[in-house]
């Protein structure tokens, strides 16, 4: 009896402990929104709506394809300086950094939005305004993020907000090329950061994990021969067919969200003529997984299948890896105070569709790779990003701005 009691007690303590560690609390409280500082902040946004829209349009019309962000960077740098941020500078990658110093006890928090757009060779951008919609390539992704960044600082400064934390505001380059600027910043800095917040999603999204992506070309080759003499000639096309069949036998989990993965064979090619055996044939795999172990497991299984098929069909095998970004998850991130606080704020602001996802591919991923609790949050509502038809909602921008302002107010 005693033994059973002890065991139950032990079990209770253990699970109690586990539950506690998962039960981080939200920092948000609806009463905060009626504090004089927050009221002042919101009023400032309200009063400046047209100015904000004008600057959003102005900034969108400064072309900034990845690798050519200089003009936009100069503008942001000038504004960071005008706002009185510390140590405003452009680093060797082209990122613009400005620091808002808090106290020595404060945490170090990065808030980032990216300068670049995917529109290479598009140098003439005109924003169309129709009611509540702004339309132009890059209007949302991520110019709306940059505008949020600038006006968040302006609103906080105007209200006399004094942060405890040290905020590092960063306008990054090369996000669309695989977070190049943010990666370089995180690799080069000596600072130890506590949180990373990227503003680079649609409003309502909270991305707390980094999606791993592995893209690989699997190439089979053989001596080739005319059809007439092709009996027993190793056939790369046959190898591709068999290997693709095997790749699709690999079980990939879709649940739970922290283990989600998917695999796609996007391309198959091989042979030059109809009356000969192909000398070289290939297929590609695009593997995406939120868990680094899962990504690794699937890659190994693709390799195993390819090697077995190559041996069975007598062809040569080689690989070309064309994409490799790490998956990274912080244990408990989904239930962390940061995610909970953000969700409570979104709910408070009346955002109807709140979506939590472990599948981020934004500057926040670079924080996650370093083991830092990081999220990516929304900049406004919109659609068609990465296309010439890109649209953003004007009203949504102000909701997103309030989201960020309240988040900083909660973090202090």
Residues that bind Zn ion (CB under 5 A): 141-142, 200
Sign, Cα dihedral of 16, 21, 22, 24: positive
Nearer to Zn ion among residue 200 and residue 393 (C-beta): 200
> Could you tell me the smallest distance in angstroms from the CB atom of residue 64 to Zn ion?
12
Considering the complex, state which of residue 33 and residue 118 has its C-beta at the smaller distance from Zn ion: 118
Smaller CB separation from Zn ion, 209 or 234: 209
The minimum distance between CB 141 and Zn ion, in angstroms, equals 4
Give min distance, CB of 60 to Zn ion, in A. 13
How far apart, in Å, are the Cα atoms of 340 and each of 130, 221, 299, 358? Answer: 35, 53, 34, 14
As measured in angstroms, the least distance from the Cβ of 145 to Zn ion is: 7
Least Å distance, CB 198 to Zn ion, is 9
In the complex, minimum distance from the CB of residue 380 to Zn ion, in angstroms, rounded to a whole number: 13
Give the residue with the Cβ less far from Zn ion, 137 or 234.
137
Count of beta carbons in the 10 Å neighbourhood of residue 92:
8
Cβ distance to Zn ion smaller for residue 207 or 219: 207
Residue 277: CB minimum distance to Zn ion, A: 45
Q: 259: buried, middle or exposed (CB in 10 Å: 19+, 13-18, 0-12)?
A: middle
Q: Which is nearer to Zn ion, 94 or 163 (CB)?
A: 94
SS3 letters across the chain: CHHHHHHHHHHHHHHHHHHHHHCCCCCCCHHHHHCHHHHHHHHHHHHCHHHHHHHHHHHHCCCCECCCCHHHHHHHHHHHHHCCCEEEEECCCCCEEEEECCCCCCCEEEEEEECCECCCCCCCCCCEEECCEEECCCCCCCHHHHHHHHHHHHHHHHCCCCCCCEEEEEEECCHHHCCHHHHHHHHHCCCCCCEEEEEEEECCEEECCECEEEEEEEEEECCCEEHHHCCCCCCHHHHHHHHHHHHCCCCCCCCCHHHCEEEECCCEEECCCCCEECCEEEEEEEEEECCHHHHHHHHHHHHHHHHHHHHHHCCEEEEEEEEEECCECCCCHHHCHHHHHHHHHHHHCCCCCCEEECCECCCHHHHHHCCCEEEEEEEECEECCCCCCCEEEHHHHHHHHHHHHHHHHHHC
From the CB of 5, what's the least distance to Zn ion, in Å?
56
Between 113 and 330, whose beta carbon lies closer to Zn ion?
113
CB nearer to Zn ion: give 298 or 328.
328
Instruction: State the nearest-atom distance from the C-beta of 18 to Zn ion, in Å.
Output: 36
Q: Least Å distance between CB 303 and Zn ion?
A: 32
User: Which is nearest to 149 in space by CA: 112, 101, 191?
Assistant: 112
Q: Of the two residues 222 and 378, which places its CB atom closer to Zn ion in the complex? A: 378
Q: 175 or 344, CB closer to Zn ion?
A: 175
């Amino acid at each position: 009896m005693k033994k059973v009691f002890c065991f139950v007690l032990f079990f209770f303590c253990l699970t109690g402990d586990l539950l506690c560690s998962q039960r981080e609390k939200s920092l948000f409280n609806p009463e905060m929104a009626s504090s004089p500082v927050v009221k002042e902040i919101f009023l400032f946004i309200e009063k400046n709506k047209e100015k904000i829209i004008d600057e959003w349009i102005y900034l969108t019309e400064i072309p900034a394809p990845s690798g050519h962000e200089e003009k936009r960077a100069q503008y942001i740098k000038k504004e960071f300086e005008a706002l009185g941020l510390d140590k405003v500078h452009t680093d060797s990658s082209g990122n613009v950094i400005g620091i808002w110093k808090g106290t020595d006890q404060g945490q170090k928090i990065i808030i980032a939005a990216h300068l670049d757009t995917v529109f290479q060779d598009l140098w003439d951008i005109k924003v169309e305004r129709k009611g509540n919609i702004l339309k132009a390539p890059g209007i949302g992704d991520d110019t709306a993020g940059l505008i949020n960044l600038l006006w968040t600082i302006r609103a906080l400064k105007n209200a006399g907000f004094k942060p405890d934390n040290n905020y590092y505001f960063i306008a990054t380059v090369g996000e669309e090329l695989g977070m190049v600027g943010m990666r370089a910043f995180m690799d080069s800095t000596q600072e130890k950061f506590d949180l990373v917040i990227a503003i680079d999603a649609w409003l309502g999204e909270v991305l707390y994990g980094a999606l791993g992506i592995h893209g690989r070309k699997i190439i089979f080759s053989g001596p080739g021969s005319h059809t007439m003499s092709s009996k027993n000639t190793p056939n790369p096309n046959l190898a591709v067919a068999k290997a693709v069949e095997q790749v699709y036998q690999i079980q990939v989990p879709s649940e739970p969200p922290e283990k989600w993965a998917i695999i796609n064979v996007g391309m198959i090619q091989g042979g030059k003529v109809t009356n000969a055996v192909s000398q070289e044939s290939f297929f590609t795999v695009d593997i995406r997984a939120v868990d680094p172990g899962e990504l690794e497991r699937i890659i190994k299984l693709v390799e195993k299948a390819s090697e077995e098929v190559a041996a069975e069909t007598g062809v040569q095998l080689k690989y070309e890896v064309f994409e490799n970004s790490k998956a990274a998850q912080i244990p408990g991130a989904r239930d962390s105070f940061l995610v909970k606080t953000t969700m409570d704020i979104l709910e408070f602001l009346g955002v109807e569709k709140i979506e939590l996802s472990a599948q981020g591919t934004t500057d926040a991923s670079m924080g996650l790779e370093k083991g830092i609790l990081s999220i990516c949050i929304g900049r406004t509502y919109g659609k068609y990003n990465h296309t010439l038809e890109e649209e953003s909602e004007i009203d949504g921008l102000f909701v997103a701005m309030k989201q960020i302002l309240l988040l900083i107010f909660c973090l202090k």
